[in-house]
Chain A
Amino acid sequence: MSISDTSRARTSLPPGIRLAIATGRSLGGHTSAVIGGTLVVLIALTAIFFPLFYQVDPLEQDLLSRLTPPVWQEGGSWAYPLGTDNLGRDVLARILYGSRVSLSIATAAVAVAVSAGTLLGLVAGYFGGRLDNVVMRVADVFLAYPFMLLTISVIAVLGGSLINLVIVLGLADWVVYARTVRGSVLSLKQREFVEASRALGARHRRLIFRHILPNILSPVLVLATVRIANIIIWESGLSFLGMGVPPPDPTWGRMLAEGRAYISQAWWLVTLPGLAIMITILAINLFGDGLRDALDPRIRKTAG
């Protein structure tokens, strides 16, 4: 089943809902998507609702109980189920709280990249000509600019706040979406239903947003799930270089980066947030794979 058929059949519904219905229907048959999706939902729910069942301040220091091991290990206690860090802060609370920060950064950065990339890709692909040329030239420049260096120099100038990180990570990533979207738009433009609408005198805006956009959303969605995972990893890399979110707010990446100093004394400080990252990314990728298979088996994963 191809999406364009669905969209033509249900033109009365808003595009988002149409996509959701189509996606949901085709996802049902994919085990990996179901497992991944369930995990993603669970992780998101935990990040949102954990204060309901675990009310420990992730910033509260207890210097005299620093580096307490998790409860199952000798010396551990239920007071700190997953142990404490170098300042005696509760690791479980920090991982839970960190999930909010890390996931928000990643989601927001992807949102920035998707919006910017999709819009530019749409415009470039749809209008073509000079505009297309300009956008794609700019994309080439971004692509050739060593990404890590761009991020680092921006953070060095602006400082590592949450907002700055989101913008920087988002800006660095828009090209991927712009290129994908442009490619899809180019091929869609030739399709009969678009040409028909145009012949009927539909305006550009209507054409772009009612007819083209809904049909290119699926590759973007698939790409976005994969990139969220990437951004979580990048954030940890920036934290490693001391350029992540400033303290005291914990992020998984920063916990990992700071915990590495205690690797031989307190394995849990680097292992547990590492596990959190791994499970989340695993879930997102499983879901993304399923999504891809469900939405369009022909979409190529070109960026990783």
Chain B
Amino acid sequence: MRMKLAGVALAALMGIAAWSPSALADNTLVVAQEAEPVGLDLMRSSIQTTMSVSYNIHDTLFRPQGDASIRPALAKTWKQLDDRTWRVTLREDATFHDGTPVTAEAVKFSFNRIMSDALNSPNRGKLSAFDKVEVVDDRTVRISTKEPYAPGLYMLAYYLPIVPPHAVKEMGDEQYNVDPVGSGPYRLEEWKKGQEVVLKAYDDYYGPKPAYDTVTFRSIPEPEARVAALLTGEVDVISGIAYHQRERIRKSDNAHLTDQMGVMPYLGLNTYEAPFDDKRVRQAVNYAINRKLIVDALFDGEAILAEGVISPRTFGAAPDLEPYPYDPDKAKQLLKEAGHGDGLQARLAYPTYMTQIQQQAEIIQAQLAKVGIDVKLEPFERAVMWDRYKAQKHQMYIYWWDDAPEPDRYVYPLLHSESRDYYYKNPEVDKLLDKGRRTLDREARAKVYHEVDHVLYEDAPWAFLYIIPDVFGVANDVDYEGRRDGFLDMRSAKPSSN
């Protein structure tokens, strides 16, 4: 017995000692994010940290640009046949990672797959305007929408990764999710669950060959540890940097910051129930919040004041709108007119997983108290927050979206009643948003969104807050520029020349 015990102890000790040190190859880029990917099938996730990894494995037909335009990717040329139809011609030389060519059939298969009930893709709704994809010949497809849909190709550029029909059918959806075969610049080498995803450059990639042979995605959940890892040179690129950590990276000799998407928090109001069913109360909340002070105090003045629902950085934002001024007297006045001269009580829900939201909620609570709105903070764990959101149980709530270049990407899903009408419904806004989708002429389209912006400014379904430009941290020996969509796209990363 004693011998056995000793044996067990010895085995345990040897186990501890036997880990091989991971040898880092020279030409490797290490990226650290907040969370490990959920799966690697780009069609099956809408989580930023997950999509960032699989976006390097998969390619789409077009490459989305910061001004909501597109450039060729798997598609070589395209032509609009009529209001509702495009003809898209694929490149000749694009192949999947198993060597088979990217064909028109694959595009059709991919579209049908993402729209299928079986896959239950979270991004299906974003492509709901599309009708069908037809194969014209081996390299040509015809894509049609149900109605004229102005941002159509841009949405395809985001949400329709092209997957190989044979591989998906052979493996099944579940296996494909852990062992994807894309047509992007990197192929999956190994996924060490809980630790890292290792990608290798795909030799036959049709585009410019990526500069790094290997890209490793790691997850470091603790924000302090992520910054520390960047500063010590253990990792080359990090995401999820809290505002107050930026200064440290800026000051360091090892790393710098690059802009990416903007985070646009908003304070949603339940317009279906008292007291926020009264427009004057909603406006009062807008007047009572000192956004400028918050932005100065928390973000060194670097955040952009929101002047309405549409971010000033998004196409179609009304140029003549000014942010609601901080005017507590006016707020009190409006509350009095609405019959709340003695003040009122309200609940403010926010999710606990975005730690930076809490301090903003606490400031807003203090500011609203000054005009007589007594706010009770309700921090909810993510799932509970979402359940209550959908069950219309929130009175005031904080959520956020990124300020995408294309207005249809967030204004429609958040405020069109056919997408979600949990807290707000306005037939006029619905009509305008529909019109915005159908108007193909860019200038005419901008005018439609200006009008949307005005209507929502006046109606105030939210208290508008600010847009916080988010950043990535990048080691100084890496040359990488963040993108407005917030994906960690390593197609463009390369060793810096200095």
Give A residues with C-beta under 8 Å from B: 59, 61, 63-64, 66, 86-88, 155-157, 159-160, 242-243, 246-248, 258, 260-265
Contacts and interface: CB of A to CB of B under 8 A. Distances in A.
A63 B380 contact: no
Contacts of A242: 352-353, 355, 379, 381
Nearest to B351: A242
Contact of A261 (B244, B361, B362, B379): B244
A264 B249 CA distance: 11
Contacts of B380: 159
B248 interface: yes
B247 interface: yes
A242 B296 CA distance: 26
Contacts of B359: 86-87
Interface in B316-362: 352-353, 355, 358-359, 361-362
A61 B367 CA distance: 10
B403 to A, nearest CB: 24
B398 to A, nearest CB: 13
Contact of B244 (A88, A160, A248, A265): A265
Interface in B219-241: 223-224
B362 A159 contact: no
B224 A248 contact: no
Nearest to B365: A248
Interface residues of B, number: 28
Contact of B247 (A156, A263, A265): A265
Question: Which of B293, B352, B365 gathers the greatest number of chain A CB atoms within 10 Å?
Answer: B352
Contacts of B381: 155-156, 242-243
A59 B377 CA distance: 13
Nearest to A59: B366
B248 A264 contact: yes
B363 A263 contact: no
Nearest to A160: B379
Contacts of A88: 297
Given A242-B352, A247-B358, 5 more contacts: A63-B297, A64-B297, A156-B383, A248-B377, A258-B358
A263 B293 contact: no
B451 interface: no
A92 B355 CA distance: 23
Does more than half of chain A's interface fall in helix, strand or loop, or is it mixed? loop
Given A63-B297, A261-B224, A243 B363 contact: no
Nearest to B358: A247
B332 to A, nearest CB: 20
A31 B363 CA distance: 48
Contacts of A63: 293-294, 296-297, 363
A61 B377 contact: no
A86 B377 CA distance: 18
A198 B27 CA distance: 83
A107 B274 CA distance: 41
A87 B244 contact: no
List the 10 shortest-distance A-B pairs measured between CB atoms, nearest first: A63-B297, A242-B352, A156-B381, A246-B379, A61-B366, A247-B377, A264-B248, A247-B362, A63-B293, A87-B359
Nearest to A242: B352
Interface in B369-419: 377-381, 383-384
Interface in B281-295: 293-294
A261 B248 CA distance: 12
Contacts of A86: 244, 359
Contacts of A243: 352, 381
Contacts of A159: 378, 380, 384
B244 A61 contact: no
Contact of A156 (B244, B248, B363, B384): B384
Contact of A248 (B245, B293, B296, B362): B362
A247 B379 contact: yes
Nearest to A86: B359
A70 to B, nearest CB: 19
B284 to A, nearest CB: 21
20 contacts: A61-B366, A63-B293, A63-B296, A64-B297, A66-B297, A86-B359, A87-B359, A159-B378, A159-B380, A242-B381, A246-B377, A246-B378, A247-B362, A258-B355, A261-B244, A262-B244, A263-B224, A264-B248, A265-B247, A265-B248
B376 to A, nearest CB: 9
Contacts of B361: 247
Contacts of A64: 297
B250 to A, nearest CB: 13
Contacts of B355: 242, 258, 261
Nearest to B297: A63
Contacts of B242: 261
A87 B379 contact: no
Contacts of B366: 59, 61
Contacts of B363: 61, 63, 87
Contacts of A160: 379
Contacts of B293: 63
A87 B379 CA distance: 18
Nearest to A266: B244
A87 B361 CA distance: 11
Nearest to B377: A247
Nearest to B379: A246
B374 to A, nearest CB: 12
A60 B244 CA distance: 21
Contacts of A260: 224
Nearest to A62: B297
Contacts of A66: 297
Nearest to B242: A261
B139 to A, nearest CB: 51
A66 B300 CA distance: 12
Contacts of A261: 223-224, 242, 244-245, 355
B224 A87 contact: no
Contact of B362 (A87, A156, A157): A87
A258 B223 CA distance: 12
Nearest to B383: A156
